[in-house]
Amino acid sequence: MNEWERMLALLGVGVAALVVLHGAGALLSRRRLGTAEVRGAEHAPPVGPFTGGAPPAAHAFSRFHVRWYAVAMIFLAFDMEMLFMYPWVRVVAETGTTAVVEMFLFLGILFAGVTYAWREGALRWS
Amino acid sequence: MADAWWSVLALPVMLVVAACVAAGFDALLGASAAYGPAGSVRVWGTRAATPLREARRLLGQPARRTKAADTALVRVGTALLPTAALLAGAVLPLGFTAVSDPGVGIVWFNAMEALAWAAVWLTGWGPNAALSMIGGYRFLALGLAYELPHMFALTTAGLGAGSLRVGEVVAAQEGLWFAVWMPVAFAVYLLSALAMAFWGPFDQPVGADAAQGAAAELSGVDRLVFFGGRWLLLVVAAAFSVPLFLGGGHGPLLPAWAWTVVKTAAVLALLIGVRRALPTLRLDRFMGLAWMVLLPLVLLQALAVSVVVVLR
Amino acid sequence: MTDGGVWAGVVSVVLAVLAVICAVQVFRFDSMARATYALLGSLLCVGGEVLLLGLDYLGVVIVLMMTVEMALMGVFMVMFMMNPGGLMPMTMVHNARGAAVISGLVFAGLTAGIFLVPWPVSRTRAPADPTHDLGRALMGPHMLTMMTLGLALFAAIVATVTLATARGRYGPSTPAPPHGPKGPEHPDETEAPERPHEQEAAPERPHVREDSPHAHSREDLTPSHGRQDPAHPRETGSPAHPHGREDPS
C-alpha cells in the first residue's frame, strides 16, 4: 500500500467504526425502550429546542449576522499566503538569503495590511 | 516501516485507548477537586471509569430530535470530528511506524485538523436551535483566531528540518529538540492544540454559558461521537507536538516508542491540567491577541529560524 | 499514486462520480448549509483526484484551503440569502432553459476537445518531488507572481477594512437625517472644525464596555451633545438580521 492508499484504508476503518457505533446505539436504545413503560417512544415527536424555558419564538434556521465578517475576509486574504509558505520551507536552505528576503517581504506586506485592519478596529466585534 | 499494514487497524485502537485514559485522568482531577482525594483504590477506579460509564449510557440513550432539525447535517458534523482526528493521526510517527508518512505530512495534518471547522459548525447548525448554533459560530470565530498562528508554528518546525515529511522532521531533531531553539513556535502550537480541540480556555464553542453550545441538543450516539471526537482531537494534537518539537522518539535508554508515549502523555497531562488552571477566554478578546501578538511573535520566530537555516 | 494500478482507476472514477453528484446537489438543496457543504464535498473529491495525479502538495492544499473557505462561505450564505435554512422551497437555478443550452454546449465542446486535440507527449520525466520544484519556481523565475499576489492581497485587506468595517474612520460618523432630506448636509461635505475628532470618536462609543481592553479610548473626549448614537441604526435595523438576533460570541 502506498501512503495515500493507507489514508483511504484508515478512512474506511474510521467510517466502519462509526457505522458500528450507530448500529449498536440503535439496537441498545431500542432494547431499552422495549422494556420501559414508554413503548413506541422511538416514534416520539421532535421536541422544541432548549431555550431555558422560554417558548422558541422563531426557527433558528434564519439569517444570522456574524459580527466578525471583516475578520473572516482578512483571514481569507492572509490564508492565501500559506499556499507559498509550505513549498518555500522545502527550498530555504538551498536558495539562501533570497528566499528569506522574498518570503518575509511578502509577509511584511500582508502584516502591514493586518496592522491597518487592527488600527481601524476591524479585529474587534463586540 | 512501509509494510506495517496492520497499523491502519492499530492506530484507531491506540488513539481510542489514549483518549479513554486521558478522559479518565480528567475525571479523576475533576472528582478530587469536587469531593477531595480518593480514599481507596476502589473509589479511584470508579472515578477514573466515569467517562466509560458515560459512554455506555450515551450508547443506549434513545435519540432526541428537535423540530425541523437537519439530522443529516448533525450526523455528518459529529462523525466528521473523530474522522478528522483519526486521519490527522495517520502521520504520527508512533516511534516504530507511522500509518503513512507522505512528503507533505505536515500539510496533511493541517488539512485534516481544519475539517473540525466544518464539523463543529455543522453540529451546531443542524439541530435548528439557537444556543447550539451560537456554539457552532463560536468555533469559526475561534478558528479565525488560532488557525494562522497554528499554521506558522507548523511551518516553523518544517523549516527547521527543511522538509514537510514528519519522519524527516523527527530525524532533524536527533541532536537538539526544536522546542529548545524555537520555543515561541512550540508555545503557539500548544495554544492552538487547545484551541483546535476547543479545550480549556477555548471551550466557548461548547461553553457552559450557552448550555454546551454546539453540543446543546446532541443526544445518544451523536453526543458520544462528538465528545469522543473531541478527545481524539486533543490526543492527536498533543501527540503531534512530539514529532514536531519534542524530538519524536529520540531519547536515551528507552526505545523510541516508549519515549513517544512518555512525551505524549506529558503534553496531554499539561493540556488537561491547563483547563483547571485557566479561565475561559472570551473569543473577541482572543481575536486581537491572536492577530496582533501571537501572529507577529510566531512570524519573528519563523524569521529567526530561517536565518539559522540559511547560515547553517 | 502514479503507478496507475486498477485501484487508482477505480478510486478516480468513484471520486469523479461523487464530485459530480455533490456538485449537482449544490443546486438542488434548499438549505444554504447543505448547498455549501455539498460544494465542499465536491471540492474534497477534486482534491483526491489531484492526489491521484501524483501532485501531493496541490491535492492536500486544496483540501485545506477549501475546507476553511467553504466553512466561511457558509457563514456568508447564511447572512445574505433570504431563506438559508431551507425551511421553504427555493431554487438556485435561474433561466433554466438557457442555462441548460449553454452548459450542454460547453460540455459538448469540452468533450469534443478531449478527443480532437492531439495530446502532447511530455519529453521530461515527472519530477520526483513536485513540492520542491514548486518552491524553486516561486523563489526563482516566478518571484514576480508571488510578490504581485502579495500586493493584491494587501489591497484586498485594505479594501475589505475600508468597505466593511463600520467602526473605522470611514464608518458612519453622523446619523442619517431623521426627518427626510431637510436634515444637515451630507457628512462628507461638512466643514465643522471638530469633525475629524468626532469622526474617530463616534463609532467607538456603542462598542465600549466597562471591561473592554479599549475602554480607556476616546470615550471621555467625546463631546456629549446629545446626538443620537450614530452606529445604532445600523446595528439594530440592519436588514442582515431581521429577527434582531446577533452573534453573541
pLDDT digits (tens, 9 = 90+) for B235-246: 999 999 999 999
How confident is residue B292, by pLDDT bands cut at 50, 70 and 90?
very high
pLDDT of residue C168: 65
Structural domain contains residue B17: yes
Q: Which residues of B touch A126 (CB under 8 A)?
A: 284
Which range, of B39-48, B123-132, B255-264, C237-246, averages the lowest pLDDT? Answer: C237-246
Dist CA C136 CA B241 (whole Å):
28
Dist CA B294 CA B274 (whole Å):
19
Residues in chain B: 312
3-state secondary structure chain B: CCCCCCHHHHHHHHHHHHHHHHHHHHHHHHHHHHHCCCCCHHHHHHHHCHHHHHHHHHHCCCCCCECCCCHHHHHHHHHHHHHHHHHHHCCCCCCCCCCCCCCCHHHHHHHHHHHHHHHHHHHHHCCCCHHHHHHHHHHHHHHHHHHHHHHHHHHHHHHHHCCCCHHHHHHCCCCCCHHHHCHHHHHHHHHHHHHHCCCHHHCHHHCHHHCCHHHCCCCHHHHHHHHHHHHHHHHHHHHHHHHHHCCCCCCCCCCHHHHHHHHHHHHHHHHHHHHHHCCCCCHHHHHHHHHHHHHHHHHHHHHHHHHHHHHC
b/e C90-102 (16+ beta carbons within 10 angstroms → b): eeeeeeeeeeeee
Dist CA B197 CA B234 (whole Å):
5
Q: Smallest Cα–Cα separation from B93: which of B266, B259, B269, B229? A: B259
pLDDT of residue C242: 42
Q: Smallest Cα–Cα separation from C249: which of A93, A94, B137, B183? A: B137
pLDDT of residue C238: 39
Residues in chain A: 126
Dist CA B3 CA B61 (whole Å):
41
Q: Which residues of B touch C34 (CB under 8 A)?
A: 70, 72-73
Touching check for A123 and chain B: CB below 8 Å? yes
Give the closest-approach CA distance of C108 to chain A in angstroms. Answer: 33
Give the closest-approach CA distance of C244 to chain A in angstroms. Answer: 9
Q: Smallest Cα–Cα separation from C75: which of C31, C33, C35? A: C33
pLDDT at B15 over 80: yes
- Highest mean pLDDT among A56-65, B91-100, C94-103, C201-210 belongs to C94-103
pLDDT of residue C241: 42
User: Which structural domain range is residue C30 located in?
Assistant: 1-86
Q: Smallest Cα–Cα separation from B149: which of B189, B106, B114, B203? A: B189
Q: Helix B220-245 crosses helix B130-161 at what angle (to 10 degrees)? A: 20
- Cross-chain CB nearest to C87 (options B68, B73, B108): B68
Total domains, chain C: 1
For chain C of 249 residues, list the mean pLDDT of each consecutive stretch of 10.
71 94 90 92 95 91 94 92 80 85 95 91 82 87 89 93 77 54 44 42 41 40 40 40 46
Q: Which residue has the higher pLDDT, C205 or B309?
A: B309
Q: Which residue has the higher pLDDT, A37 or B194?
A: B194
Structural domain contains residue C150: no
Structural domain contains residue C50: yes
pLDDT of residue A40: 52
- Highest mean pLDDT among A32-41, A49-58, B36-45, C11-20 belongs to C11-20
Q: Which residue has the higher pLDDT, A2 or B48?
A: B48
Tell if the CB–CB gap between C157 and A86 is shorter than 8 Å: no
Share of chain A above pLDDT 90, in %: 40
pLDDT of residue B61: 85
pLDDT of residue A58: 81
Tell if the CB–CB gap between C150 and A64 is shorter than 8 Å: no
Structural domain contains residue C207: no
pLDDT of residue B156: 95
Touching check for A116 and chain B: CB below 8 Å? no
Angle, vertex CA A20, rays to CA B67 and CA B81, nearest 5: 60
Touching check for A112 and chain C: CB below 8 Å? yes
Structural domain contains residue B2: no
Tell if the CB–CB gap between C33 and B143 is shorter than 8 Å: no
What is the pLDDT of chain B when averaged over all its residues?
Answer: 91
Dist CA B187 CA B197 (whole Å):
16
Quick: pLDDT tens for B200-209.
Answer: 899 999 988 8
Place of cell 491572536: B290
pLDDT at B199 over 60: yes
For residue B216, CA distances in Å to A50, A70, B120, B127, B285 come to 8, 28, 12, 9, 24
C-alpha cell at C50: 489531484
pLDDT of residue C58: 93
What is the pLDDT of chain A when averaged over all its residues?
Answer: 85
Total domains, chain B: 1
- Using DSSP, state whether C27 is helix, strand or coil: helix
Chain B partners (3+ C-beta pairs within 8 A): A, C
pLDDT of residue A88: 92
pLDDT at A64 over 50: yes
Dist CA B238 CA B26 (whole Å):
15
For residue B237, give every residue at least 6 positions away whose Cβ sits within 8 Å of its Cβ, in sequence order, or none: B113, B192, B193, B196, B197, B271
Q: Which residues of A touch C169 (CB under 8 A)?
A: 120
Structural domain contains residue B167: yes
Beta strands in A9-117 (DSSP E): none
pLDDT at B175 over 50: yes
Structural domain contains residue C142: no
Mean pLDDT of B111-126: 94
Asked whether the beta carbons of C69 and B119 are under 8 A apart, the reply is no
pLDDT of residue C198: 41
Q: Which of A50, A78, A100 to mutate to test the interface with B (most CBs of B within 10 A)?
A: A50
Structural domain contains residue C29: yes
Q: Which residue has the higher pLDDT, A30 or C109?
A: C109
- Count contacts between B and C (CB, < 8 Å): 76
Q: Smallest Cα–Cα separation from A85: which of C153, B184, B238, B241? A: C153
- Cross-chain CB nearest to C241 (options A61, A63, A80): A63
3-state secondary structure B40-71: CHHHHHHHHCHHHHHHHHHHCCCCCCECCCCH
Residue B277, Cβ density class (10 Å: 0-12 exposed, 13-18 middle, ≥19 buried): exposed
pLDDT of residue A33: 67
Residues from C contacting B (CB-CB < 8 Å) are: 31, 33-34, 37, 40, 56-57, 60-61, 63-64, 67-68, 70-72, 74-75, 85-87, 129, 131, 213, 245, 247-249
pLDDT of residue C231: 41
How confident is residue B39, by pLDDT bands cut at 50, 70 and 90?
confident
Tell if the CB–CB gap between C56 and B134 is shorter than 8 Å: no
pLDDT at B114 over 60: yes
Tell if the CB–CB gap between C72 and A117 is shorter than 8 Å: no
